Chains A and B, each alone.
Chain A
């Protein structure tokens, strides 16, 4: 224990963690006089961690603390604080994520409205808050007040006329371009990892991959700042995916304060799972949905303990955000739904239609977006990221300004679409003709649409087309971008259009059989707001191969009731089946495959009858496996092997003739140990023998001193025989999180299978390009 503590004081704490300390194996008792060398037991960038080693290290650490706790009260306090540290860390993650989400929300609201005008009395207020306590808002025009001045009013002191319209248009486009330019420059100069959504990379990191700097403090700062800029520039993107990235960055940074999590990559990933749950929780105001998202989408291993901790972090984050109160009405999300009108059984038919639309949209989007991203990756288009962002922003802004539904921010659009029209609403979408005399303002019967509704329908249809097309080009640009909100917008628009259509049909044809049996005259039969909600849930459908319960739970938490569970589930299921019929992968898995990350899908079945010897390296005509012997190689020999090959690890055998396996040693550990030995240990030269056994081999006199490297040797590598079916091998890799597995034949070492080989084999079997797997 003391060695571990001493070693952690020897080097700086950085966000590119160096997990110090030796390997937790039983040889530690013999080596306690030796200090563990700093750097041994850490991983290179773009490499996979060894889950088994990390977990066993944590168990050793825990065992030591528990054993020591019986010795003194101090040790007892230490063990209690160790157990309590996990919960404290969750609390801190929740607080930090909630505060950052509040900052992002408030700033994004203000900057979005900055494109249209400014509040002369209190520059920091957005449009809604500027007119908050004004006495001069009218019923027809709920947004007009003297304190809020649009740009045309400020620049040419008039509000009306063609010239004022042009000035407003010009300022809108100018602000949009400025925000987008600032966003992409900041990303390029300070933190290139801050672009994109972040969820595919976080998924890969949580499965055991290391990307140094991806969850660091610069990435956090830049992602927060540029997310606000990107959202404010009017581009068709959301902030849910980046909020998950921000929350995971908070989790990673706060891990450095706790020894238990800083030094162990496996424990850290548990914390990151909980942080991802907190991220979704603040994005939607749905803690349970957040935990389910983390469980289904992002995490690879999710023990039960993590479930409780994730829930705690998500609740704390939601509570913090609510305390900051970004929307002034104690709601977490802008589009919280409050109506409770019942739905009818025949409405399942349009809901299923919406599900089919959602599935088609999902499949279309994934295909086209991946094709566009591939084009960006391989052709000249990828060389001009800044210009690309500016061009897309210009097109979006120029096309968005004339239509009021594209000009408003997407969250506002969704909340307006979810809104059920009552007597108190005076927007264009609620311009119904009131032909009745009742005095209650609650449930209104179905009413015929006025002229405002028809023009709103046209504008919404144009909005739908614009959003469908522009989102394909926006997602994947070099600025933080999320996908949930634009998809919800597409679904909500489609739903509302269908809902209004159904409503008018029910009004004008109330003598048809279906309407007659369920809708009585003068009752509120069809609620277009519900159709918008169901449409939004349907279009969120295709994130991954598995079932997406978290979407339904999020929609249910947004609506606050169980009444609409059946329509939501029907639409979500239909959408998923349609999308599955058209293409297997979800959007995040498709991006993982596009980037070639070594992500071993945990849920797919491997159904081919190949054997381990078909996959292992070396293949039949390749040179023999590069091995180290346990006590007959010199330092120079080992250094030659290391510099001539690029393997990340070497098996150690008793001798080249017998090829009996002793253990496995990692390249990085070898390099660091040899370098350290050359500097620190007396007499170690190039002709010194390296031995991995317990005791030094007998040496003739006058030979240089030997170098013992047993403490970096993994004495329990996993082995399979060459006739093991690949099904079992793939299962072992998945369940244990292995990085490599040795293959033996009749007890002798024959070859090695690495995770990359497994992935290539799976890709080959699925007729995909096996060369697209880039990393190891």
Chain B
């Protein structure tokens, strides 16, 4: 009897994932389309020629107008030299998306900031709070080896995880405790015993 529901759930999740994928693609496309008009440029590099010094020109011009005659200031160039000067210039049309850059940097810095705050909380604030709440009777966590010293305790652990927890807060607390234990194990393997990732 579970089959139709489970199948429905799976189909639903696959569909939602496909929708997510498509929307991500669309977002990327629209980000491209909704360009800032200032995010295009025509860059012309003109090397020195005879007595005219080299120069770089950046102009906010559409692609069809991106050539030497429209972009380069030909005031200082004499009439017969214009053609030779322009032949040496190389004009390229470039686009960018400043919105993408801004959004990316903001996302990155916010994630970094959140992680730093959480790190400060974990390393500095939490021990102080714990010490205030539990006094000086600290529970020292046992240093279990990675091995199987208490095989049946581990099994108990495995089975206990299969029961669902009713209280949400309990769940969060439990998940955080388990995560901390995992990180501690990892830290021991990597930093202390140099067993993995020397």
A residues with CB within 8 A of B:
1-2, 5-6, 9-12, 16, 18, 38-39, 44-46, 74, 77-78, 81, 84-85, 88, 91-92, 95, 99, 102-103, 106-107, 110, 122, 124-125, 129, 132-135, 137-140, 142, 182, 185-186, 188-193, 195-196, 201, 211-213, 218, 221-222, 225, 228, 257-259, 320, 323-325, 328-329, 373-374, 376-378, 382, 385, 423-424, 426, 439-441, 476, 478, 591, 594-596, 639, 642-643, 646, 667, 671-672, 674-676, 679, 774
Minimum CB–CB distance for A272 against chain B, Å: 18
Q: With contacts A106-B104, A774-B195 known, is A10 near B182, CB below 8 A?
A: no
Does B147 sit within 8 A of A, measured CB to CB? yes
Instruction: Give the number of residue pairs across the A-B interface with Cβ within 8 Å.
Output: 225
User: In the complex the two chains form, is B158's CB within 8 Å of A323's CB?
Assistant: no
Contact for B38 among A11, A85, A133, CB less than 8 A:
A133
Contacts of B164 in A (CB 8 A): 12
Contacts of B156 in A (CB 8 A): 675
Seed contacts A134-B58, A439-B87; 15 additional CB < 8 Å A-B pairs: A2-B3, A5-B3, A12-B161, A16-B182, A44-B148, A46-B146, A74-B7, A81-B10, A106-B108, A110-B105, A124-B102, A133-B58, A139-B56, A189-B122, A667-B151
User: In the complex the two chains form, is B98's CB within 8 Å of A122's CB?
Assistant: yes
User: In the complex the two chains form, is B191's CB within 8 Å of A377's CB?
Assistant: no
Interface hits, B1-57 → A, CB 8 Å = 1-4, 6-7, 10-11, 13-14, 17-18, 21, 24-25, 28-29, 32, 38, 41, 45-48, 53-57
User: In the complex the two chains form, is B88's CB within 8 Å of A192's CB?
Assistant: no
User: In the complex the two chains form, is B94's CB within 8 Å of A189's CB?
Assistant: no
Contacts of A646 in B (CB 8 A): 147-148
22 contacts between A and B (CB under 8 A): A5-B2, A45-B146, A78-B10, A84-B14, A92-B21, A99-B24, A107-B105, A124-B105, A125-B98, A129-B101, A133-B38, A134-B58, A138-B56, A139-B48, A182-B112, A192-B190, A192-B197, A213-B186, A225-B108, A328-B94, A424-B90, A667-B151
User: In the complex the two chains form, is A675's CB within 8 Å of B159's CB?
Assistant: yes
User: In the complex the two chains form, is A324's CB within 8 Å of B159's CB?
Assistant: no
Interface hits, B151-184 → A, CB 8 Å = 151-152, 154-156, 158-159, 161-162, 164, 179, 182-183
Contacts of B57 in A (CB 8 A): 135
Q: Which 7 A-B pairs have the closest CB atoms?
A: A139-B54, A328-B96, A124-B105, A192-B190, A675-B155, A11-B162, A377-B198
Contacts of A196 in B (CB 8 A): 197
Contacts of A323 in B (CB 8 A): 28-29, 32
* Closest A residue, CB atoms, query B48: A139
Q: Is the interface of A mostly helix, strand, loop or mixed?
A: helix
Minimum CB–CB distance for B24 against chain A, Å: 6
Q: With contacts A439-B87, A643-B151 known, is A478 near B7, CB below 8 A?
A: no
Contacts of B25 in A (CB 8 A): 95
**Complex alpha-carbon distance, A81 and B18, angstroms:** 12
Does B119 sit within 8 A of A, measured CB to CB? yes
Q: Is the interface of B mostly helix, strand, loop or mixed?
A: helix
Interface footprint category on B: 35 or more
**Complex alpha-carbon distance, A469 and B77, angstroms:** 52
User: In the complex the two chains form, is B112's CB within 8 Å of A192's CB?
Assistant: no
**Complex alpha-carbon distance, A437 and B164, angstroms:** 83
Q: With contacts A2-B2, A225-B111 known, is A39 near B158, CB below 8 A?
A: yes
User: In the complex the two chains form, is A439's CB within 8 Å of B88's CB?
Assistant: yes
Contacts of B122 in A (CB 8 A): 189
Minimum CB–CB distance for B174 against chain A, Å: 10
User: In the complex the two chains form, is A441's CB within 8 Å of B191's CB?
Assistant: no
Q: With contacts A12-B161, A675-B156 known, is A139 near B45, CB below 8 A?
A: yes
**Complex alpha-carbon distance, A11 and B55, angstroms:** 68
Contacts of B104 in A (CB 8 A): 102-103, 106-107
Q: With contacts A325-B96, A478-B190, A675-B159 known, is A103 near B88, CB below 8 A?
A: no
User: In the complex the two chains form, is B189's CB within 8 Å of A192's CB?
Assistant: yes
User: In the complex the two chains form, is A124's CB within 8 Å of B101's CB?
Assistant: yes
Contacts of A12 in B (CB 8 A): 161, 164
**Complex alpha-carbon distance, A109 and B148, angstroms:** 46
* Closest B residue, CB atoms, query A596: B195
Contacts of A213 in B (CB 8 A): 182, 186
**Complex alpha-carbon distance, A676 and B3, angstroms:** 26
Q: With contacts A44-B148, A88-B17, A423-B88 known, is A591 near B198, CB below 8 A?
A: yes
Does B78 sit within 8 A of A, measured CB to CB? no
Contacts of B100 in A (CB 8 A): 106, 324-325
Contacts of B102 in A (CB 8 A): 122, 124
User: In the complex the two chains form, is B162's CB within 8 Å of A38's CB?
Assistant: yes
Contacts of B116 in A (CB 8 A): 182, 186
Minimum CB–CB distance for A293 against chain B, Å: 21
**Complex alpha-carbon distance, A510 and B161, angstroms:** 79
Minimum CB–CB distance for B34 against chain A, Å: 14
Does B187 sit within 8 A of A, measured CB to CB? yes
Minimum CB–CB distance for B168 against chain A, Å: 13
Does B115 sit within 8 A of A, measured CB to CB? yes
User: In the complex the two chains form, is A671's CB within 8 Å of B155's CB?
Assistant: yes
Q: With contacts A139-B56, A426-B54 known, is A91 near B98, CB below 8 A?
A: no
Minimum CB–CB distance for A474 against chain B, Å: 15
**Complex alpha-carbon distance, A639 and B152, angstroms:** 9
**Complex alpha-carbon distance, A722 and B11, angstroms:** 52
**Complex alpha-carbon distance, A632 and B102, angstroms:** 71
Minimum CB–CB distance for B186 against chain A, Å: 4
**Complex alpha-carbon distance, A390 and B195, angstroms:** 23
Does B95 sit within 8 A of A, measured CB to CB? yes
Q: With contacts A103-B107, A423-B88 known, is A81 near B55, CB below 8 A?
A: no
Contact for B54 among A140, A377, A672, CB less than 8 A:
A140
Minimum CB–CB distance for A99 against chain B, Å: 7
**Complex alpha-carbon distance, A320 and B198, angstroms:** 34
**Complex alpha-carbon distance, A106 and B6, angstroms:** 41
